[in-house]
Amino acid sequence: MLSERFEDPRPLDQAGWGEVQRVAHELLPLAAADLRYCSPAPRSRATGEGLGYAPLVQLALRDCDMGRWRGLTLGEAMAREPEAVDAWLADPRSTPHGGESLLDFIGRVGNWLDTRPAEDGCRVVAVAEPSVIRAALVYALKAPPGTYWNIDVRSLSTISVAGRPGRWSLRLESVSAQPLSA
């Protein structure tokens, strides 16, 4: 997380395109989802398009508003304003950067999740930054906001939540359809 940039406006670079192309065959089945979304960030939009999802941009899936820390890494913000960063990390309601609190961010992403169709069999795909996925998981699991800092989301990874508003669960998929032998 130290190298992630807050509200990173940079486009998908050549290395990123290479990663998308390398795993596209594995993620292509997700394009069959009933609804496909992405955050407004250039890298998320490009990734969704590059995977063939033709996603709809959802403003609710934007990164946390980091105010004057926008574009900085956590390490850079710590070097400039160590006390403010400490306050922000300690209190999910704080906004020393002048932007959105962690609690508000988690709530915004969770509200979006709760408005997705809940019909049986309706599949939704969202391509978003790691911070958005962490917020969705904290909300879905009804975990304390501090849990956000303990979730590591890797680029081009998939995470599934199943359920309906107020009753979400994390679903871990099997990598192989082969039964395990004991």
Is residue 126 classed exposed, middle or buried when 0-12, 13-18 and 19+ CB atoms within 10 A define those classes? buried
* Alpha carbon distance 106, 148 (integer Å): 9
pLDDT of the residue at 162: 86
Q: What is the pLDDT of residues 16-61, one digit of tens each?
A: 899 999 999 999 899 999 999 999 999 999 999 999 999 999 999 9
Question: Is residue 70 within 8 Å of 4, Cβ to Cβ?
Answer: no
Report the CATH architecture of 5-171. Answer: 3-Layer(aba) Sandwich (3.40)
* Domain extents in the chain: 5-171
Average pLDDT value for residue range 162-180: 69
Per-residue pLDDT at 148 exceeds 50: yes
Picking from 158, 161, 77, 76, the residue whose alpha carbon sits closest to that of residue 114 is: 161
Picking from 152, 116, 156, 117, the residue whose alpha carbon sits closest to that of residue 137 is: 152
**What's this model's pTM, rounded to 2 decimal places?**
0.88
**What is the token pair recorded at 102?**
């962690």
Tokens 């900085």 locate to: 72
Per-residue pLDDT at 2 exceeds 80: no
